[in-house]
Structure 1
Amino acid sequence: AMARETLVGPLLEHRTQRLNRALQREVLSKEALNALHEPFLVATIGLGLYVAVTRWGLPIDQVMLLALLFGRLLGHLQKIQKNHQRAVACDSAYWSIRETIDEAAAAREPAVGTAPVSLTREIALRDVVLKYGDNKVLDHASLVIPKGQVTVIIGPSGAGKTSIVDLVTGLVRPESGEVYVDDVALEHADIKAWRRKIGYVPQETFLLHESVAVNVTLGDPELGRDTVEATLKEANAWDFVASLPEGIDTVVGERGAAMSGGQRQRIAIARALAHTPDLVVLDEATASLDPKSEAEICATVKRLRGRMTVLAVSHQPALLGVADKVYRLEAGEVREVSAGERNNSLREIA
């Protein structure tokens, strides 16, 4: 897409050639060891027999016994050498895996809070400052996400809309200020328990090369086929799933390749709804969809109003049409957009 294939091609070719040379050296060393083993064994045994008979004057039966034992010893030594070669060949891969494991362990999120969280009134950001390095994304920002309502956050690309989602889900911590669920600050909350009450739908939907049912439940044994069917209906996905050759047992293909963009997104919404969350997060979930698919997802969001709390990050006018609250984020500041200002905001986004 960026016409960089003339740069990437030679780089890939160079690395492929290096890999081929390394494989060639490994094959040559293995085959050289195998080819030299038998001549070396025969020469060594022959020399040993000659020395034992001419120099030491050993009886022939003892000489033959020593030759047999020595031959077996060399056979074991060859196995040790081959295993050593395999270990050397796998050494770099092993240390690469160890490095990845160590990095993951170092980045593990500490469990600091234990307070139970229950969304009964609202989620609130109060005077929040958030920085990434020297870049201030939020500057004393405050907003309220009422329970049971649809709240939409708009703003230019790179303004920090997804950062608000990260704050609400506890993936990042503010420099100052706090995020509250009712009266419980997320700093003190049992964050894993809170996340289990969230259903998240990203812009880039990731589907497993598995059946529709597995993609909805993610293998959770507590979610049966009735739950799968109910959540697919909730996500306005049941009609097309029921028409598939094997229904909910139909394999969606690698990354959902057998499905259209709208179908993949509706399966992702069903996945988010499967465990009946308190909060549903839509992070640009209608981007790049055709108008019909977008309208179906907006209808789904509208049906959730009153039963679940919805937080949506969007540039799309359709989602703004079903919103109870709209906030505009720009230059680190958050401002609520009144119903009368929404049309002007939509023109600015366009």
Structure 2
Amino acid sequence: MRSVAWSNNCLTLLNQTLLPNKVETIACNDWRRAAEAIRRLEVRGAPAIGAAAAFALVLGAREQAALAFPEFKSNLQETAEALRQTRPTAVNLFWAIDRMLAVLEGLPDTADSAAAIQALEQEAITIADEDKEMNAKMAAFGASLFTSPTCVLTHCNAGALATVDIGTALGVIRQAWKQGNITRVFADETRPLLQGARLTAWELMQDGIPVTLITDNMAGWVMKNKMVQAVIVGADRIALNGDVANKIGTYSVAVLAKEHGIPFYVAAPSSTFDFKIASGSDIPIEERSATEVTSLGGNCVAPQGVHVFNPAFDVTPHSLVTAIITEHGLLHAPYDQAIHQLSKLCK
């Protein structure tokens, strides 16, 4: 099941807020509905958000088709700014929008709107196609880390639902499973929105990969009892020094892995690296509604009016990361040097 699809000038998104109980798609015929889907987490995962935003800009461009190019261009830049406001942490969102606007800026002032729309659509398709290629390359590089039967733990969802194709962390797991080197996956439920329980467990079961669901606060005990030999997660933004922003709870898992001598791997495409920021302290952390914490399955589980702190992400220091898996290969410490070399490949 594809999380993001484009056909006949319509962006189709798999509504991930309904999984696993209901499989339903959202037909986005205008950019506002796509923006709403990103904001509501109906589409989620950094690479999938980037692809969705790119196609949303194509929808926005089509709305301006009758305008002269200067006004077309100005209006589309306003649409891009509105899309930027949907999710502040996942850098793929900004990366994809910047790529689309670069195409727009590269057109001559004499261009017409029809030519611009065609160029933007092709760029969005390229972004989606590149994500598939990056997933496949990451899977191959990541699987090379597993040379014997291994039980792994993962947090949140970094699979096909979070990307355009097989996933980042789950893409690696899928490839290593095919090679006979994954025996079981422990999936943290990932409170408060349960992406591990609702999405990761569902994806792995669809593939027939053995999965055991645990609550987030069981991870340490699972490690202490030597039930897992590695951790692999995705990322939403990685700083120049190798600090990694990912779904809230990832930092705790990394600390536990370090304590128990378990390697902690991060799988992320180059589009998830923010080459403009020095460290994780510069990464904006999205805070979400209190009701995500005070309610569970639509039922209130906390006292009325209680104060809530609900950051959607945390930052894992690079010192806790064993290796970062990219489509260009494996990155190891010192990460500032490795990521500097990666940035040269991405120019």
Greater relative contact order, per chain length (Cα 8 Å cut-off, separation 6+): 1
Output the TM-score relative to the length of structure 2.
0.27
- Higher helix proportion: 1
Output the TM-score relative to the length of structure 1.
0.26
Of structures 1 and 2, the larger Rg is shown by 1
